Amino acid sequence: MITVFLAGGFGKMGRAIQQMIQDAAGLELVGILSGSSHESELPVFTSLADIDVTADVWVDVTQPEAAFANGQYALTHGFQLVVGTSGLQTEQVTTLKMLSEKEQQSALIVPNFSLSGVLLMQFAAQAAKYLPDAEILEIHNPKKIDAPSGTARATAQAIAKARQQVPVATNTADPARGDPIDGVDVHAMRLPGYVAEEEVVFGAPGETLRIKQTSFTRESFMGGVALAIRQIDTIEGLQVGLEKVL
């Protein structure tokens, strides 16, 4: 039995994870960290100092400002760490990486728990070898604070790394052309009615290629969350991306 502690357990993602763990074989939720009190059959804590339970894996789906402190607490208190919160700064990720190595605890930061989202990034990297000109459009619900999303950033970085030719189109610093991330323009939209959607558009002389992934409900993320929990002990130190445990 793998025991789990969940930070951010009463947001939409957190409630979905609670249900997933309840239905899953071999997983047990033993405690929840929340910004406010909630009625629950499980222990609910509103501050790190109050936590008096242990678990194999700490799953964090809070906001970026809380996830960094939570991650430090988890790694120094015997938890393996799965972070599903995007928006952590580079220096924060570096700190968590150093801490995971020092404490000899595995850590995984997952920009997107959707398996189809992970495949999109892999397909985009493959296409970028032959079609270097690409732009990304990502759409999320209005409550998603960070923009562009962690998934879009990871996709842009994968495209840039895979390119074998210099793209023809360049960003002229016009805001309408998007936010250039490693030379890939990213456009972020926040609209009601969406959960998560990403599309990568490649252009070449006489042809285009579009790769698109849509999550209609948060259920699309649950398979990835379960996979990360079950496989976290197969990695060393801190890794980024669900593909590290596929």
DSSP string, the chain: -EEEEEESTTSHHHHHHHHHHHHSTTEEEEEEE-SS----SS-EESSGGG-----SEEEE-S-HHHHHHHHHHHHHTT-EEEE------HHHHHHHHHHHHHHT--EEE-S---HHHHHHHHHHHHHHTT---EEEEEEE-TT--SSS-HHHHHHHHHHHHH--S--S----S-GGG-EEETTEEEEEEE-TT-SEEEEEEEEETTEEEEEEEEE-STHHHHHHHHHHHHHGGGS-SEEESGGGG-
> At residue 179, what is the residue type?
D
Residues tagged active-site: 140, 144
